[in-house]
Structure 1
Amino acid sequence: MDTPLSNPGNHGQTGDVQPLIDVADLARLLRHDPPTLLDVRWRLGGPPGRAAYDGGHLPGAVFVDLDRDLAAPPGPKGRHPLPSPDAFEDAMRRAGVSAGRTVVVYDDADSTAAGRAWWTLRYFGHTRVRVLDGGYHAWVNAGEPVTTEVPDVEPGDFTARPGGMPMLDAAGAAALAKAGVLLDARSAERYRGENEPVDPVAGHIPGAVSAPTVGNVGVDGRFLPPGVLRDRFGELGATDAVDVGVYCGSGVTAAHEVLALNLAGVPAALYVGSWSNWITDPGNPVATGDS
């Protein structure tokens, strides 16, 4: 059973860099010390991220496909299970990722997909990963240049070493819902079981607390200030004094919530399989409503 304590010393710490970077700082980096730049635009049920990338992206950015590169094929482990270390290492090397070079990831605006990229890189051992706060929209709105040119990529030397971030399995999530705080990052309607547009079973893990990811960002898609996030999570019982875990539908928006908790100073474990894995076991209980 994986628990929030299964990786002592790695409780959401970001290593050598702060997890967010703004447009001005990224623009300066690109001029003087370019990071590896990954475009991970993706939207569940929306247009393909590759089409958005081909229509315009940050100069030097390489497209990374969330479904193909940041997850294994869907199955009993969930809709977005972790890729194998070898598969992830190959994908990141093709994208130019190296261990000693900072990686900056971005999506359209709210960092949902970028949060999954941040977490997955951190889990597999890269300590210098940052998320462009506000994403592509913030970059464009600031008047910074975009391009349709696909860069020639020099393969990176990244080596995937699992265990850099705490992770939960189904048993660990169930235990944490009783002994700590387990946050459900899906919409409140999905948590209550009133609406389930993706998975075949509606409801939530018994004991979990509703904490929709949308509450982590403002209308511009940027993360709320750390103090505001700390207050938000504190009201839900999630503080650095207790073990905290997060799940969603398939481990994407929950990774975003782990990032938000990190900004608030609250270490948190990710249940990667999330609800789409939980419901594959008919023995796992399902709760509905607000309780």
Structure 2
Amino acid sequence: MSAPSPLIDVAELAAALDAATPPALLDVRWALGGPPGAEEYAAGHLPGAHYLDLDRELASPPGAGGRHPLPDTEVLAAALRRAGVRADRPVVVYDAGPATSAARAWWLLRWAGHRDVRVLDGGLAAWTAAGRPLDFTTPQDGGGDFVPEPGALPTVDAAGAAELARTGLLLDARAGERYRGEVEPVDPRAGHIPGAVSAPTTENLAADGRFRPAAELAERFAALGVKDSTEVAVYCGSGVTAAHELLALTVAGHPGAALYPGSWSEWSADPANPAETGA
């Protein structure tokens, strides 16, 4: 029997929210340099959703480990308990639409040991397009009991990423122009980790903003060199959009790939690390 999809559609989520025991629903809207997600949440969110702050609760402060290091376990635990996350209760996460920050929350919960986490495919945009209602009230805090146990999903550090670029497959989930070093709007240097393969997350999505079907994603990743026998890791700018790639890989039937949490923001800050440019 195949594993259940890590994605959930609007109709399925609406039915689940009407059940006697609905899933814990997490709003993790975030955009690099964009408006604060908390403001967007206050302007309308899915009924019963709790807001989680990616910068403060789903990451540690920026530093030597990059712009979005993995969060302190106690900080993460407190945020999840506030949002009603329990070990025996399914969790659904969503963002504004492309699933970039939702995938970060999905990956973190799975990495922390939660077994039942799904992402709303298409996010808030799909929900509202289907004519579903929004809420403007904040649900009561508390009720969660989930205790994170980090390590359930694999990670690599800078040395591990460099090694996989030589011996396995290292995917760069950033936009192609950043991979090629044509632009670098955020991090210290332009380019990519030597040997990495460009795999922009935008190519995981169909024109409607939802993920492409599993078979199409499997074809995409096969063309990039992903095989069942290949050890794979993914990086991006700071470990956020890389989670989107890992979500797509899971949909495609390759759930074992690792995340490089520090990603390019960590790698490029160390002058000892080489950088390649071009295709």
TM-score interval for Structure 1 and Structure 2 normalised by the shorter chain: over 0.9
| In 2, Cα distance between equivalents of 1:152 and 1:271 | 35
State the number of aligned residues.
276
- After superposition, the CA RMSD in angstroms is 1.2
Quote the residue 2:278 is aligned against: 289
* Counterpart among 16, 20, 32 of residue 29 in structure 1: 16
Give the C-alpha shift of residue 17 in structure 1.
4.7
Moved more, 171-180 or 237-246: 237-246
Quote the residue 1:258 is aligned against: 246
Q: Is residue 2:121 matched to residue 1:133?
A: yes
* Counterpart among 268, 277, 280 of residue 257 in structure 2: 268
| In 2, Cα distance between equivalents of 1:92 and 1:128 | 14
The 5 A counterparts of 1:125-274 are 125-266=113-254, 267-274=256-263
* Counterpart among 14, 28, 51 of residue 39 in structure 2: 51
Q: Which letter does structure 1 place at the counterpart of 2:260?
A: Y
| In 2, Cα distance between equivalents of 1:132 and 1:214 | 17
| In 1, Cα distance between equivalents of 2:132 and 2:142 | 25
Kindly indicate whether the alpha-carbon contact (under 8 Å) linking 1:244 and 1:269 is maintained by their aligned counterparts in 2: yes
Which contiguous aligned blocks of 4+ residues in structure 1 show a shift greater than 6 angstroms? Answer: none
Tell me the SS of whatever aligns to 2:171: strand
Kindly indicate whether the alpha-carbon contact (under 8 Å) linking 2:47 and 2:135 is maintained by their aligned counterparts in 1: yes
Quote the residue 1:279 is aligned against: 268
Q: Which letter does structure 2 place at the counterpart of 1:28?
A: A
Give the C-alpha shift of residue 28 in structure 1.
0.4
| In 2, Cα distance between equivalents of 1:279 and 1:190 | 12
The 5 A counterparts of 1:78-97 are 78-97=66-85
Kindly indicate whether the alpha-carbon contact (under 8 Å) linking 1:17 and 1:129 is maintained by their aligned counterparts in 2: no
Tell me the SS of whatever aligns to 1:222: coil
Deviations 1:47-72 (A, max 9, x none): 11111100000000000011011100
Q: Which letter does structure 2 place at the counterpart of 1:282?
A: P
The 5 A counterparts of 1:59-70 are 59-70=47-58
Give the C-alpha shift of residue 219 in structure 1.
2.1
| In 2, Cα distance between equivalents of 1:221 and 1:67 | 24
Q: Which letter does structure 2 place at the counterpart of 1:154?
A: G
Tell me the SS of whatever aligns to 2:170: strand
Tell me the SS of whatever aligns to 1:131: strand
Q: Which letter does structure 2 place at the counterpart of 1:20?
A: L
Give the TM-score normalised by the residue count of structure 2. 0.97
Deviations 1:235-263 (A, max 9, x none): 11012220111000000000010000011
Give the C-alpha shift of residue 178 in structure 1.
0.3
Tell me the SS of whatever aligns to 1:176: helix
| In 2, Cα distance between equivalents of 1:155 and 1:204 | 43
Structure 2 gap segments, 5+ residues each: none
Q: Which letter does structure 2 place at the counterpart of 1:136?
A: L
Deviations 1:95-147 (A, max 9, x none): 11111100100001110000000000111111110100000010011011111
Moved more, 152-161 or 243-252: 152-161
Give the TM-score normalised by the residue count of structure 1. 0.93
| In 2, Cα distance between equivalents of 1:190 and 1:122 | 28
Tell me the SS of whatever aligns to 2:226: coil
Q: Which letter does structure 1 place at the counterpart of 2:102?
A: A
Q: Which letter does structure 2 place at the counterpart of 1:56?
A: G
Percent identity at matched positions? Answer: 61
